Amino acid sequence: MMQLYSQKSMESQFWNEYLETMPREKLDQLHLRRIRGLIKYAYDRVPMYQDLYDKAGVKPEDIRTLDDFIERIPTIDKTNVVVYQSKRPPFGDSIVQDSEDYITFFFQTSGTTGKPMIEVGYYKEAASAEWAHMWWAHGIRPRDIFYFAFPFGTFMAFWAAYHNALVMGGQVITSGGLDSKARIRQIIELKPTVLVATPTYALRLAEVAREMGVDARETSIRYVSSAGVPGAVVSTIRQAIEGAWGAKAIDLYGVSDVWGSDSWHCPAHVDRLHLTEATAYGVVLDERGHLVPDGGQGELVLTNYHGSLMPSIKYRTHDVVEWHKEKCDCGRTWLWLREGVLGRTDNMVTIKGTNVYPTAIQGILGEIPGLSQNVEIYISRKQSEDEVKVLVEPKEEMAPTEYDGLRTRAQEELRYRIGVGIEVEMVCPKSLPRYEVKAKRVFDHRKG
């Protein structure tokens, strides 16, 4: 049998040591070369970019430095892409013209923030190794067996993970349309070592296992690899998953709209995510579009290099992050985000002059003993004031006589740590929905 990996490579903590440890100066030089080529490519081949750049009065040859790119190239977001796609559905003017013969996969965003956006690409780009960088860093190797608790719809993240597992040479088990009980039985029978699921569904599977009389901590699962919603980089979610499965929980943050621009869990720091700078360039901008200093907070804006049929250049994620560009003591020079996504620019709430992000509410409630990780946050506007109501769910072992105390504790914690009062309503145990893919936790009724 052909030897695919040397003993030295098996022992290395890096999937691609050359790129992962490249000094920042050289890494930025590489980014500039790739960005200049990408802008020229997109301007010549994608009508959306030619139109946007002409309106902004900028030509590809005007971009000579990264500062030029940050200051002169206009940002885009989902709204822009949907508008250009609508001109000639389904793909319109957002893809390389006359490239339909090269499309080998199709997916779309979940549509949770409006009309779904269509994305296209081809196989080699889907297998571009963002997940492999993370898995390898955490000790996962080709001998591991991956179990995908995922229905394989048009949600991109786990399709990319699936292709990455194959690139690594791992054995792959796809659970397809099985229900949760059947998946638990498969895990017991086939003994996979890596569970791939959204964090909410990983917790749901462990809950179903308990109902079946199975202790998920006694199964073969050694890693729970999650994506789709805030996961193991959040301490309360990480502790819940690791407590439920007796396995290491690792997190990957990505934006389906800009696939190939993922950030993944640092092996040395549980509160850090590294951007895969082999396939993407990331900057953090303030509300005026200016660069935020290293260590500051702002909106993450991404450019990917692997969307050759549908490039994403200076794409606004609307995710608020805190970024750091100094070398990490895990050995990587790739920029890192402290605690992942801190909030969303498009669902920030202002209550009595205080800016509040729903993710902060979730994090605070997740630390209260006796409450489950399942919450729902409802945002509305009365006159000129934002209002928030939160539904919380007690754990099954809590007695009904303790519910009022839990509710009071939740309201007090929110008031103390956020600085304003937020209405909390207690619902019955296990009454809030469980999700296999992305969990819907925030319901914003301010936008009509």
Instruction: Indicate the range of 27-41, 143-157, 203-217 predicted with least confidence.
Output: 143-157
CA nearest neighbour of 157 among 21, 42, 257: 257
Residue scoring higher pLDDT (373 or 196): 196
The answer to whether the CB of 427 falls within 8 A of the CB of 393 is yes
Residue scoring higher pLDDT (379 or 224): 224
Predicted local confidence at residue 113, as pLDDT: 43
Contacts of residue 346, defined as CB under 8 A and 6 or more positions apart, other chains included, come to 113, 318
Quote the CA–CA distance of 85 and 242 in Å, as a whole number: 42
142 phi and psi angles, rounded to 5 deg: -55, -25
- pLDDT above 90: residue 447: no
Quote the CA–CA distance of 155 and 166 in Å, as a whole number: 18
Residue scoring higher pLDDT (131 or 99): 131
Percent of all residues in the chain with a pLDDT value above 70, rounded to a whole number: 90
Predicted local confidence at residue 2, as pLDDT: 45
pLDDT tens per residue across span 72-95? 999 998 888 888 888 777 778 888
Q: What average pLDDT score do residues 433-444 get?
A: 80
Residue scoring higher pLDDT (423 or 152): 423
Predicted local confidence at residue 230, as pLDDT: 81
Q: What domains appear along the chain, each with residue ranges and CATH number?
A: 349-444 (3.30.300.30)
325 phi and psi angles, rounded to 5 deg: -110, 0
Coil/strand/helix, residue 45: helix
The most confident of the ranges 119-123, 163-167, 208-212, 372-376 is 208-212
Token digits of residue 261? 């621009």
Mean pLDDT over all residues of the chain? 88
Predicted local confidence at residue 362, as pLDDT: 84
Burial class (CB in 10 A: 0-12, 13-18, 19+), 384: exposed
Quote the CA–CA distance of 120 and 104 in Å, as a whole number: 8
pLDDT tens per residue across span 144-168? 999 999 887 766 778 889 989 998 9
| Helices 358-366 and 403-418, packing angle to 10 deg | 130
Q: What average pLDDT score do residues 52-58 get?
A: 97
Token digits of residue 4? 């695919």
- pLDDT above 90: residue 356: no
- pLDDT above 90: residue 370: yes
Coil/strand/helix, residue 272: strand
The answer to whether the CB of 177 falls within 8 A of the CB of 151 is yes
Quickly state the pLDDT bin for 340 (edges 50, 70, 90): very high
- List the beta bridge partners of residue 446: none
Quickly state the pLDDT bin for 433 (edges 50, 70, 90): confident
Quickly state the pLDDT bin for 111 (edges 50, 70, 90): very low
Token digits of residue 313? 């250049």
Quickly state the pLDDT bin for 306 (edges 50, 70, 90): confident
Quote the CA–CA distance of 437 and 423 in Å, as a whole number: 28
- List the beta bridge partners of residue 323: 337
Percent of all residues in the chain with a pLDDT value above 90, rounded to a whole number: 59
Predicted local confidence at residue 119, as pLDDT: 60
Predicted local confidence at residue 116, as pLDDT: 55
Would the pTM of this model clear 0.75, i.e. be above it? yes
Coil/strand/helix, residue 312: coil
Predicted local confidence at residue 371, as pLDDT: 93
Quote the CA–CA distance of 77 and 68 in Å, as a whole number: 20
pLDDT tens per residue across span 239-275? 999 999 999 999 999 887 777 778 999 999 999 999 9
CA nearest neighbour of 237 among 341, 147, 134: 341
Task: Name the DSSP letter for residue 322.
Answer: E
Quickly state the pLDDT bin for 9 (edges 50, 70, 90): confident
DSSP letter for each residue of 146-177? EEE-S--SS-HHHHHHHHHHHHHT-EEEE-TT
Q: What average pLDDT score do residues 317-331 get?
A: 95
Q: For tokens 């996962």, what's the residue?
A: 140
